[in-house]
């Protein structure tokens, strides 16, 4: 299994320093410690291991250092900010790994933007050297970008001219949607292998300013201090330490305290079970602070986050994930009510944002997601959100084994999807009043009532449950995984698009298609030919 646990004391590639309201995050990739064997991480290029550390740093800043208001991201390597994703790593990786790697790196960049949007943190990219591809995608995820003016440092997105692929981990979308670069300029920029520097990069909007090397550090520091003064003051508080999340492996799969995964690899399916809290949960800000990372809402959803990543990277042939929930529905709703009652606390707000991020990672996972509401299930509150994030919801109808479902206090906008809608709004695009009514009433429903109100895909009688569910799962597992990935990504996010939903929709289409085309990954494709004397050989037919 992949170890997604990191701590600043064990970082190989990043240096994190907190100095009051300013945190400094410097990229210093150790070429001798790649995520896998077979390549060196030259020129501050990154692989999955580098990005796991970055994701950890952003999460820790939010939970462990609530005093931080500005994060300056820079490089500790002379003349190189970041050369982007490591090309030999991409060239040697499987197709599934490439796409999941791109998805994970973009989720990390989205976590930066999420922290800026919700946690009162501004991110400043101090680009003190060459900044290419994924390096610029990291910079463009920040709120402001400043480039050293040393007559050599540039920003660039060279994937199209050099690699035959795309800056599709968000680069193209953020150019036009976030920084609002003119389409013609974005076209030129994305086909210039050498990129742009200095005044033109500023005039085109690719950076916010450029300063000479002799004054660069001082100007960045001065801007960070200005931002601190512009941001609202933060309440004095102490952060909570995030401990490691570790899975226990056995012959059936792997498990944590509240989450377990049973693997049936021969049938290409896994059962993901999540447990409600079994002890009283915090009800006040003080109790949340005392509980720390042992709070059920934090621990359960950090475990779920790890399980999702394990399934993505470690089990690419698992096509169907069956979602089961167990425990006391009242305990789930009570935990959420305590969180809502403590929203004046920074920690309660951060927990809510964590839940929202994990839910989005769940529904952005390229697997068929079936929620099974059977006897003993606990689809209430945030567990119901997981069901609504699934592709189908099967609900058992048995008077002798009653199944209940309940809408919780966080379902009214606190846990938005990537398209900005609630899951109720997304489910009832044709009937917004029904979504609003459910969110307002927060009803507890029997299986029949849940079906009548549109929350069940199928209401299945007890005598038919085993066969109907089995047949549905077997049919799903028999379908083309490529077709299902495209179908699910298209259907899960109805309504108007946002920058986030565009990124992931295009990631699913662009990267899945381009990464298997011979022009990119063939024997003489651009990705395989990179750094070699022979030029890439293209199939010139447009499709």
Q: Are the C-beta atoms of residues 47 and 36 closer than 8 Å to each other?
A: yes
* Cβ count near 284 (within 10 Å): 13
Angstrom CA distances, 41 to 7, 46, 282, 532, stand at: 20, 6, 44, 17
- pLDDT at position 95 is 87
With vertex at residue 470, the alpha carbon angle to CA 361 and CA 425, rounded to the nearest 5 degrees, is: 40
Residue pointed to by tokens 């990069």: 201
Taking only the tens place, the pLDDT of each residue in 502-530 is 888 887 777 778 888 888 888 888 888 88
Contacts of 188 (CB under 8 A, 6+ apart): none
Q: Are the C-beta atoms of residues 122 and 159 closer than 8 Å to each other?
A: no
The DSSP annotation for 453-480 comes to: TT--SEEEEHHHHHHHHHHHHHHHHTS-
Q: Is the pLDDT at 488 greater than 90, yes or no? A: yes
CA atoms within 13 A on the CB side of 222: 7
Q: Which CATH architecture has domain 8-230?
A: Alpha-Beta Complex (3.90)
Q: Are the C-beta atoms of residues 135 and 81 closer than 8 Å to each other?
A: yes
Angstrom CA distances, 393 to 373, 450, 456, 479, 487, stand at: 7, 11, 5, 19, 17
pTM summary value: 0.95
The DSSP annotation for 213-235 comes to: HHHHHHHHHHHHHHHHHHSPP--
Name the residue among 351, 293, 366 with its Cα closest to residue 107.
366
Superfamily designation of domain 248-487: 2-enoyl-CoA Hydratase; Chain A, domain 1 (3.90.226.10)
pLDDT winner (highest mean) among 92-101, 386-395, 479-488? 386-395
Taking only the tens place, the pLDDT of each residue in 301-347 is 999 999 999 999 999 999 999 999 999 999 999 999 999 999 999 99
Cα distance between residue 208 and residue 145, in whole Å: 5
- 364 token code pair: 């952005």
Domain boundaries for CATH 3.90.226.10 within the chain: 8-230, 248-487
């Amino acid at each position: 299994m992949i170890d997604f646990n990191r701590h600043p004391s064990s970082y190989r590639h990043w240096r994190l320093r907190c100095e009051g309201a300013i945190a400094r995050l410097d990229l210093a990739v150790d070429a001798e410690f790649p995520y896998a064997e077979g390549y060196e991480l030259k020129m501050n290029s990154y692989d999955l291991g580098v990005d796991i550390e970055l994701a950890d740093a952003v999460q820790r800043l939010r939970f462990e250092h609530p005093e931080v208001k500005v994060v300056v991201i820079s490089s500790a390597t002379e003349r190189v900010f970041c050369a982007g994703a490591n090309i030999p790593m991409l060239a040697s990786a499987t197709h599934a790994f490439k796409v999941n790697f791109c998805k994970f790196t973009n989720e990390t960049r989205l976590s930066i933007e999420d922290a800026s949007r919700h946690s009162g943190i501004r991110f400043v990219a101090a680009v003190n050297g060459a900044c290419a591809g994924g390096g610029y995608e990291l910079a463009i995820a920040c709120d402001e970008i400043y480039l050293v003016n040393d007559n050599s440092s540039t920003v660039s997105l060279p994937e199209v001219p050099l690699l035959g692929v795309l800056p599709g981990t968000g680069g193209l979308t953020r150019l036009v949607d976030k920084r609002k670069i003119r389409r013609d300029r974005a076209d030129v920029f994305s086909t210039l292998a050498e990129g742009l520097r200095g005044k033109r990069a500023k005039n085109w909007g690719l950076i916010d300013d450029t300063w000479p090397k002799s004054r660069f550090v001082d100007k960045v520091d001065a801007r960070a201090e200005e931002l601190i003064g512009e941001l609202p003051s933060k309440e004095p508080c102490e952060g909570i330490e995030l401990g490691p999340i570790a899975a226990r492996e056995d012959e059936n799969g792997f498990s944590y305290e509240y989450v377990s995964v049973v693997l049936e690899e021969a049938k290409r399916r896994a059962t993901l079970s999540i447990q409600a809290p079994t002890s009283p949960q915090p009800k006040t800000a003080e109790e949340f602070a005392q509980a720390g990372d042992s709070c059920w809402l934090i621990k359960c959803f950090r475990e779920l986050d790890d399980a999702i990543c394990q399934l993505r990277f470690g089990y690419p042939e698992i096509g169907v994930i069956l979602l089961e929930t167990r425990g006391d529905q009242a305990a789930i709703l009570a935990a959420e009510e305590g969180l809502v009652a403590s929203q004046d606390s920074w920690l309660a707000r951060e927990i809510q944002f964590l839940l929202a991020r994990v839910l989005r990672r769940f529904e952005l996972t390229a697997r068929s997601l079936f929620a099974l509401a059977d006897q003993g299930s606990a689809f209430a509150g945030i567990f119901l959100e997981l069901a609504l994030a699934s592709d189908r919801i099967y609900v058992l109808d048995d008077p002798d084994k009653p199944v209940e479902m309940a809408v919780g206090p966080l379902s009214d906008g606190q846990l938005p999807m990537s398209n900005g809608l609630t899951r109720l709004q997304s489910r009832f695009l044709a009937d917004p009043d029904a979504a609003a009514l459910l969110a307002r009433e927060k009803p507890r429903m029997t299986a029949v009532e849940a079906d009548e109100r549109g929350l069940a895909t199928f209401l299945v009688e007890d005598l038919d449950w085993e066969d109907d569910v089995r047949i549905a799962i077997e049919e799903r597992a028999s379908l083309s995984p490529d077709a299902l990935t495209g179908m699910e990504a298209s259907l899960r996010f109805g309504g108007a698009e946002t920058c986030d939903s565009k990124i992931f929709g295009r990631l699913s289409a662009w990267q899945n298609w381009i990464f298997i085309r011979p022009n990119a990954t063939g024997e003489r494709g651009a990705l395989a030919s990179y750094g070699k004397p022979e030029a890439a050989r293209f199939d010139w037919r447009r499709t």
